[in-house]
Every structure is written in structure tokens, then in C-alpha cells.
Structure 1
Amino acid sequence: MAENIAIFRIMPDEPGAEAKIKKALSNIKDAALKDVKVEPFAFGLNAVIAAFVLEEREGAIEALEQSLKKISKVSDVRLEHVSRI
């Protein structure tokens, strides 16, 4: 079965929450975490950019997005890019 790489921008709900979010990303069961970085966003907030590899199947990306939204200290999750690998 083919795989996709999905890149998400994850916004914390408060400054300094990036470390907790990064730690929680490694516990996501829906996909394999490939890369995580933190980028400055605005007014002391940083966005967490996470790349995941997951099976190409219907609803997989939506399920992953919902899992990310359930992480403590996350205020918003946006899918930035998806590509077949």
C-alpha cells in the first residue's frame, strides 16, 4: 500500500507549551513521526511543525488531525502539505 507524508502546523495555546506538544507527538499511534521543528510565529508564540508518514487510506489524514487536536496545550492544527511517497 502507498504511503503519504503529511506536514502539520500545530499552534500551542500558550507560550512555552512547545516542549509538551513535541513530547506528545511521539505518542501518536495513527502515523510515524518523521520530523519536528519549532518556528517563531508571533508575540512569543512558536508553531510546532510536524511531519508524519502514514498509510494512504480513506480518512487516515483526518484521523491523524483529530488525534493532534486532542493533545493538551494545542489550540489549532492546520494541514500544510500532503504528498505521496
Structure 2
Amino acid sequence: MGEVLATIKVMPESPEVDLEKMKADIQASIPEGTEFHKIDEEPIAFGLVALKVMVIVGDEEGGTEAAEASLAKINGVNSVEVTDIGRLM
């Protein structure tokens, strides 16, 4: 079994959400079996900025589900969506 790099788009509830605190909360909430890689910011519109969280997970069915569930529970998060998955060689 290999590993994949998954990009998970985390949308804050509003532009007023403290992104630095949210980034720290994201890193702290990464579940066991998931390796944090990095976070990029993606401007959306009207001051709203999405966070693109990249994690490394095992290449099995449901590999990102634990990470998605953990990220969705963070205060200030509106939605969580896997936007890309690529196999690591």
C-alpha cells in the first residue's frame, strides 16, 4: 500500500475568522495516521480566504475521512472538501 497527498479545502465561516488561529487548530487536530504537510491560502472573494490543507494519508478507501471529520469540528469552519488527491512515488 502506498501513500497519497490529499488537498483539503477548508472554508471559514466569514472573513473575520482569525486564520492564524485556525491554522494552528488545524495542525493540532490532524488525526493519528495522517501526516500534516502544509497549508496554503486561497483568496476567494470579498476578503474571504480558504485554507488548502495538504496531508499525507494511506492509499486506501476512506483514507481522508478521519482528517475531514477532525477539520470540520474546528471552531469557525464552514465547510471541508477534498479537492485533489495524488499518489506519492
Instruction: Identify the TM-score tier after normalising by the shorter chain.
Output: 0.7 to 0.9
Q: Runs of 5+ in structure 2 lacking a partner? A: none
Counterpart in the other structure of 2:9: 9
Counterpart in the other structure of 2:74: 71
Cα-Cα RMSD: 1.4
Counterpart in the other structure of 2:24: 23
Q: Do 1:25 and 1:33's aligned partners in 2 also have CA atoms closer than 8 Å?
A: no
1:32 to 30, 35, 40: 35
Number of aligned residues: 85
Give, as a single letter, the amino acid of the residue that structure 2 aligns with 1:51.
M
TM-score, normalised via structure 1 length: 0.88
Query: Secondary structure in 2 aligned to 1:59?
Result: coil
Q: Runs of 5+ in structure 1 lacking a partner? A: none
TM-score, normalised via structure 2 length: 0.84
1:48 aligns with 2:51: yes
Q: Distance in 1 between matches of 2:23 and 2:81?
A: 16
Q: Distance in 2 between matches of 1:67 and 1:60?
A: 13
| 1:15-74 deviation line (CA, Å, top 9, x unaligned) | 142212211121112411111111211111101111000122332212211111111110
Q: Distance in 1 between matches of 2:81 and 2:61?
A: 18
* Runs of 4+, deviation exceeding 6 Å: none
2:62 to 59, 62, 65: 59
The share of aligned pairs that are identical, in percent, is 33
